[in-house]
A and B are shown apart, each in its own frame.
Chain A
Amino acid sequence: MGTGEQRALHGWGRTAPTIATVVTPRTPEEVAAAIAAAGPRGIIARGLGRSYGDPAQNAGGTVLDMTGLGTVHSIDVDSGIVDVDAGVSLDTLMRRALPFGLWIPVLPGTRQVTIGGAIGADIHGKAHHVVGSFGNHVVSMTIVLADGSIHELTPDGPESELFWATVGGMGLTGVVVRARLKLHPVETAYFKVDTEQIDNLDDLMRRQTEDDDRYAESVSWFDAVTTGEHFGRGLLTRANHATLEDLSPKQRKDPLKFDAPQLLTVPDVFPPGMLNRWTGRLFSELWYRKSPTTLGAIQNITQFLHPLDIAGEWNRGYGPHGFLQYQFVVPKDRGDVIRTVLSLVTEAGQVSALNVLKQFGEGNRAPLSFPKPGWTLCLDIPIGPGLGELCDELDRVVLDAGGRHYLAKESRTTPEAIRRGYPRLDEWRKVRAAVDPQGVFASDMARRLELI
């Protein structure tokens, strides 16, 4: 494991780096040893660093690089249950499980996420309205607590409170080292996709309300640059897993083929300001035009789920100042907030090129889990003058509508905003305090948002 090295760490947004001692444990016992050795600034687990803000940073303290625990222990084809280390990525698990016809039911916009991170942020994907979030599919997890003890938690077992406090708990209850997950059977690795070009926001949202239940996966992208009558024009892409019959004869020869190439790695050479009103408009136009309405197209994993995974380190394209993602959810009957937020962004002259809108289904029992029934919108904006003020204004609109922020994306809000958005925060704090009375688990996010 070694004694660790001092390193500057930041999130995927490349903002607010801080220095921590990074230790790479290889076993649960080494995790326990690192926890025991943690200094006054505490310790936090880190996976692949795909959270946008600072939950996997710990200034002046210790950070566990969990990718050292990377074994897929077993895959039970009949029950669909896999037993994996927390440092295994969704990408690795998918490559191992797909040949057996097993599908990870919850996949976010990237596969470069560890199992531990997926549990800690209780991640969601385009299938949320059908399958819920990641925590719903965890059969059991092994966690190392602040006192070094190793516990096996289940959703309904004797320590179910701790299980659900760990789901969405941003790593602050303990270090998840291993988990058993229930995967879903699929016939093929392809999707049968309906793509619809819709030329304004109201219609885009109406269509998602009408018949999302016909699809296993649903998401929309819209243009936040164009104003006027085409304001919020977008692409609605919805899909079901393709069956063998849906495939072409050629695809049928290898129906579970994992087709997910990474074609390039973006170099770290871009100046700030690459995304501006002009490039934003061009990007929006191209993205909209590239996908005319087509029904029933067969697409592979990368085409449908993870178009951004084609380029490694794509966050470098935003330049040295980095960027942030602003993701929130508001209740179903407050769809009007989406339009208000968009208008505020456009009026402030900010450019968001990747705007993803989706309707969530039911949430789960975890007090800090993000999804709840309603609309979730994710904006993606480069850091620049006026962005802080704009986001503060968006906070007011979102919170007044009964909404909240997604902690995996969060990088700049206030403790007050989190308290308002997560009414069960105190309940979560109590469970946390019972297993970590000294506050051994700490992160930059925990300090910034006063989570602990």
Chain B
Amino acid sequence: MRSLIDIKKLNVKAANTNSQQSLENEKNTIGLGGVGRSKKHESADKQVAGEAIYVDDRSPLRGELYAAVGQSEHAHANIVAMDLSKVKTAEGVLAVITVEDVPGHTDIGPVFPGDPVLALGKVEYIGQPIFAVAASSYELARKAVKLAKIEYEELEAVLTIKDALAKQNFVRPPFTMKRGDSEKAIEGAEHQLSGSIVVGGQEHMYLEGQVSTAEPTEDGGMNIFTSSQHPSEVQKLVAEVLDIPLNKVLVDMRRMGGGFGGKETQAAPWACIAALLANITKRPVKFKLSRVDDMVMTGKRHPFENNYTVGFDSDGVIKGIKIEVNSNCGYSPDLSDAITDRAMFHSDNAYYLDQATVTGNRCKLNTVSHTAFRGFGGPQGMMTIEMVMDDIARHIGKDPLEIRMLNLYGKEDRNVTHYHQKVEHNNLAELIETLAESSDYQARRQTITEFNKSNAILKKGIALTPVKFGISFTVQHLNQAGALVHIYTDGTIHLNHGGTEMGQGLNTKIAQVVAEVFQVDVDTVAISSARTDKVPNTSPTAASSGTDLNGKAAQAAAKTIKQRLIDFACEKYQVRADQVKFENSHIIVGDQTFSFAEFSQIAYMGRVSLSSTGFYKTPKIHFDRAKGKGRPFFYFATGAAVSEVIIDTLTGEYKTLRTDILQDVGHSINPAIDIGQIEGAFIQGMGWLTTEELIWNEKGRLLSNNPATYKIPAINDAPADFRVALVTDAPNREHTIYNSKAVGEPPFMLGMSVWSALKDAISSISDYKQSPVLDTPATPERVLWAVESMKAASK
């Protein structure tokens, strides 16, 4: 295959089905601290035994009540009258509140206003909370809210992106990023193509639904136990709705049963409502959303409708492009400005666009307000350019992989993005070459083409798609973190940091970092809940940044204490600093050796502070939004996937047969956890693009509102042959924590390989001459329509 750049192959660590052995072998080569070791998840033993406590598993507090909310029946309407008398007298009900009963702020919008905690005279989507009750049981609370009589005056609802665009109905102003003169470049190119794609949204479907418990405190404050990725924001919003200072609200977050972005801003409303009810009743209140309520009342991944016009040369190299991304933000801004920005930032994915104009419209629709979800707009942005790659390939009759290779960012030139950040340390060409070879891409391409000639009903397809994902919050101030480390006199360590554990193994990795600093056994490092009174003013655990930010902060705290221990040792034992060593759970001071526990006791007796905070802020990043220029990302995370699928041309059914992934995670802090993230992200990305279909009816009501009608991948959907490998010997060249790279979001977008492989299978019907339009999710129904259009086109 041809490429514009020199390609060397990369070293990889096979981590597929048969690789447990290779993970085990690490133990012999890695120091006691444990960075680089496949340490099991800190909660694994508890999780398998049913002993891990989630918010709903906490013992009930004395007098605990249960909350539920009455919901809007209309997508857009004024509330004319509300009769809650039957709700108030319903069995078990102790309190009923409306927005009138909120002592403080009524708007809980996380960045921009627009999210009333309870409806303020009008409703803007079906399911919007209007009033709340506290009752003696979960069932009675849910039954009571059904008894309200609410009179509405219906208003015109905007329910499609097209309608919103026509009406210029936006939650935030449009924004354009521009480099060069795309118009002229497209016109001047040898070939031009244009197209459009509908990209569906996605329900988070964290297995643990939204839940919070609010417990009034003795001084008018509130303790909140919540399943949230952003405890500090919950603290702030609870304080604001109650009109009390932040120091009277404590938020405790031990673990989430999954988050994926769905508990970044979406956890706060339920905590606020529980707190309002707890404040009025002076009793603890738990608010747990039923699955259907959760799906109806919480935001999802933004659906997008994107279009492009591209100009390219006869080789298929892009000369200029215009891309428009239109996000369905739902009724309020929430995080949609940053999400649509990220879609724009990632409209290039891994490719040099040359002269480019990228515009993003933030459409306001009368649906639930869409929100953060793994990738944060990036995936929706990348879909357009991946469609362009396939379209160019079919147009000029080349393998799509060749077109992708040709258009990759260069190393010395062709390396500036449409937002003017230089792409540095770019290893994608090598990574793709390595993966294409290890996955036997070319040979399988041949086999597949032959299979397709011999089978009239079933067709196979294969595709390799890369991912380049920018790491950092694009809102600069969020790129900071704090941590708190204590050493006790028995040498055990306690650690808190600003991140939250949602299954991604963050606590495990941060404990490994601290253990590494002191060279002690990682099992001696205990982590308790993320608490706003331990580490204040935290950022959400989001943007794949959990380990990068909190790892550095925890390392800083540990290093501070380590330095104190060294200083103390030098003074007490009259040695030089280079004579003090931390090794194998011991501290060696000159010719004396102490166990870590012994020395902790000695240091305590010597009146050394064994507790420290740590802080970190990401260097180098800046972005001038007015000019659309800057370096929003500290670095890029890269990876690629090859997927092979089979489709049924009579029914549209399909199956993913094999997937090979190669991901660059830098110097992995914990390979097993990283592989788990990659596998899970890929399957989630595949689900987003295949079976997970959100359907709203013509009134704006969500029909796919439970797991019986909304289908996330089940066990048989995972490819039977699933091979994940990490690039080894590739430390991050930016100074991240132990030179690792973020892994939470980037592999999500590898799911695009399945979508592109489906298109490849469909395209075979036209002898690969036509590029099918395949909107997502590519359900069997959409695949069948694409097949039929391909049959019609090749007649």
Real binding pair: no
